[in-house]
Amino acid sequence: MPSHLHIKILNQQWELHPERAVWWGSRATLILADIHLGKIAHFRSAGIALPQSSARKDMQRLEALIAQYDPLRILILGDLFHSVENSAWQSFVSWRKEYEHIDFVLVEGNHDILEKQKYKEANIQLVEGALTEEPFLFSHEPLTGEWAPLINVCGHVHPGVRMSGKGLSSIKLPCYFHTPTHFIFPAFSLFTGKYAVAAQEGDHVYVIADDSVIAVS
């Protein structure tokens, strides 16, 4: 049974799920970042033999989250699709029709390069730049500048943390990374790398280990 972690951020209750998504219950919103649909097909078209099972598993994980929370809205913090259109996009458009009752909002990421009409046809609201919903400022990449007292909630970085075991063994695990100014999501896609973050005083790291989210700082 997955073990979630409940936190309060700026007086908002969030549920951090080990499947790399956050449930914002008061807004009936499921939040995630960096799905990178089509990435497997993109590499396969370049002659790199990768199994399609990774892409299917990501969608199955999303379906399970939808079944669990029954959200009114899914908020994606960029990089829904990985690159130019390929067969994976049409598969997603067909899949999307099964969930027409859910609002899909995409904060545009650096990989979201499809024609804007494509998102409209898929019934996805595309937000350029950033989306403000107090007390949060949602974007794809971490923002710089002044927006206090809001927290910038974003993706893009694919944060991870290196955990050490017995002897010289270590493993890098995905994490949610919370600083005084930012809350950075792990990449939802399992087929992504991880950037090792270094926590400073005042930062919080919530590591995803197996089916649990654990506060380590």
pLDDT tens digit sequence for 57-69? 899 999 999 999 9
87 Cβ contact partners less than 8 Å away, ≥ 6 residues apart: 41
Cβ burial 45-62 (10 Å sphere, 16+ → b, else e)? eeeeeeeeeebeebeebb
If pLDDT is split at 50, 70 and 90, which confidence band does 165 have? Answer: low
Reported as half-sphere exposure (CB side, CA atoms, 13 A), residue 97 has a value of 6
pTM of the model: 0.91
- CATH ID of 5-215, from 3.60.21, 1.10.3470, 1.10.600, 3.30.420: 3.60.21
Q: What is the DSSP letter of 143?
A: P
Q: What is the pLDDT of residues 35-61, one digit of tens each?
A: 988 765 544 454 444 455 566 889 999
